[in-house]
């Protein structure tokens, strides 16, 4: 399929808005964990189960949706997918206990994982010859949502209470109506007749070993990012910071990621992906270890650099996999985002259990050393841009 050399800004904006809206609502849960703990008496293990379940649903749904999106021309995955977090995540504020909270989060996460492969697979078709930068801008929509969402919801819940959260769905419905009018129907790659494994072979072909290495690096990034995103609010509330302050940290953490992601995408289009990955995973451990030891207002600066270094790699992994496997754009996106994040989510309950036993600070210190495991894998990435 021929891809235009000039980017279609209108469609890229609409696709980015899909990403922003779905992730904006999905971002409400993590910063509210301290309030849910206070309301329901949840343990850190239960918090880990909620977080892990949310990510595990991405493991189940995204590869399947990516496979179907490469075969069928439909917007159903996009529209229904973005509606589910808009509806169910705000309902979590009315959850009376752990099981109902888990159900609402699961349904919202299920929907969120539906729209990601389709819209991510559409980005290369409208990005011209700037695939890395366009994917970084698209990804910035999601990371910006995860930056602004915690700031908004901690203010909103603090002022109006958890029970008022369902009113927030009104904004989401208005955005979905606009998206229904603008977002085009995805274009499949004509893989309908060759079955699942035939589609995988056709999509990945001789590059499958490289794609696996990229995926393993993205799994490491997911484990690190989710561990810090989940337990930073709880850790710093335990240290005496307010829930709103913890929400600000998460916002700074993720907004920094949107900035670094765009910078990394622009640089990778010029010098290649491998040196950028080397820098990210080489600098990650020192920055995270420093962040965990900061006090006072310095923690906000630490949150900025921690988020910038952790989240910078996400759009690069997706863009690189799509370049290597252009006929399986949605499948590649689902592997690098949903599948990788889902496998990382399986680890979240283990991280929570270890935090119950040893302390959050000790466990996050161990997680901060994990980026070093990714450096040998980066050696297998393509060298040229």
Phi-psi bin for 190: left (phi > 0), alpha (psi -120 to 50), beta?
A: left
Within a 10 A sphere around the Cβ of 180, how many other Cβ atoms?
12
pLDDT at 385: 52
Residue with tokens 């799509």: 322
Round to whole Å and give the CA distance between 115 and 83: 10
- Helix, coil or strand: residue 359: coil
Round to whole Å and give the CA distance between 24 and 326: 29
Nearest to 92 by CA among 148, 39, 21, 14: 39
pLDDT at 287: 94
Q: Note whether 24 and 147 are within 8 A (CB).
A: no
Round to whole Å and give the CA distance between 48 and 51: 5
Round to whole Å and give the CA distance between 117 and 328: 10
Distances in Å between the Cα of 50 and the Cα atoms of 15, 29, 308 are 28, 9, 25
Q: Note whether 316 and 332 are within 8 A (CB).
A: no
Within a 10 A sphere around the Cβ of 368, how many other Cβ atoms?
22
Round to whole Å and give the CA distance between 307 and 143: 10
pLDDT at 2: 44
Q: What is the pLDDT along the chain (385 residues), one digit of tens a residue?
A: 444 556 677 888 888 888 899 889 988 888 888 888 888 888 878 887 888 788 777 666 777 776 676 666 778 788 888 999 999 999 988 888 899 999 999 999 888 878 877 787 777 777 766 666 777 788 778 877 877 888 898 889 888 888 889 999 998 898 889 888 887 776 655 555 555 555 556 666 667 788 888 889 998 998 898 888 888 888 888 888 887 888 788 888 878 887 888 888 878 878 888 899 999 999 999 999 999 998 888 999 999 999 999 988 888 888 788 777 766 666 677 777 767 777 776 777 788 888 888 888 899 999 999 999 999 999 888 765 5
Round to whole Å and give the CA distance between 114 and 76: 9
Domains and CATH numbers, the chain: 9-378 (1.20.1250.20)
Round to whole Å and give the CA distance between 68 and 73: 9
């Amino acid at each position: 399929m021929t891809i235009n050399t000039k980017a279609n800004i209108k469609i890229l904006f609409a696709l980015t808005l899909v990403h922003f809206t779905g992730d904006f609502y999905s971002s409400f849960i993590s910063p509210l964990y301290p309030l849910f703990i206070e309301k329901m008496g949840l343990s850190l293990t239960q918090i880990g189960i909620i977080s892990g379940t949310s990510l595990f649903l991405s493991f189940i749904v995204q590869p399947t949706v990516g496979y179907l999106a490469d075969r069928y021309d439909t917007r159903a995955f996009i529209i229904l997918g973005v509606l589910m977090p808009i509806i169910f995540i705000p309902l979590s504020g009315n959850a009376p206990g752990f099981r109902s909270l888990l159900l609402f989060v699961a349904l919202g996460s299920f929907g969120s994982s539906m729209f990601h492969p389709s819209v991510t697979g559409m980005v290369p078709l409208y990005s011209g010859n700037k695939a890395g930068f366009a994917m970084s801008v698209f990804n910035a929509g999601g990371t910006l949502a995860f930056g602004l969402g915690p700031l908004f919801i901690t203010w909103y819940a603090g002022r109006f209470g958890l029970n008022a959260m369902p009113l927030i769905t009104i904004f989401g419905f208005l955005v979905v109506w606009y998206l229904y009018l603008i977002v085009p129907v995805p274009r499949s790659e004509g893989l309908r007749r060759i079955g699942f494994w035939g589609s995988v072979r056709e999509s990945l072909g001789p590059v499958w070993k490289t794609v696996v290495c990229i995926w393993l690096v993205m799994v490491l990034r997911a484990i690190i990012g989710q561990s810090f995103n989940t337990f930073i609010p709880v850790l710093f509330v335990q240290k005496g910071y307010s829930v709103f302050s913890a929400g600000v940290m998460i916002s700074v953490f993720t907004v920094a990621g949107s900035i670094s992601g765009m910078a990394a995408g622009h640089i990778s289009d010029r010098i290649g992906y491998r040196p950028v990955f080397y820098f990210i995973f080489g600098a990650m451990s020192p920055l995270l270890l420093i962040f965990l030891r900061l006090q006072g207002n310095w923690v906000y600066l630490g949150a900025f650099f921690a988020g910038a270094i952790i989240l910078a790699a996400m759009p690069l992994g997706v863009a690189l996999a799509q370049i290597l496997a252009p006929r399986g754009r949605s499948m590649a996106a689902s592997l690098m985002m949903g599948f990788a994040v889902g496998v990382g989510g399986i680890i979240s309950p283990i991280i929570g259990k270890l935090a119950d036993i040893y302390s959050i600070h000790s466990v996050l210190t161990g997680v901060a050393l994990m980026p070093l495991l990714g450096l040998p894998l980066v050696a297998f990435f393509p060298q040229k841009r």
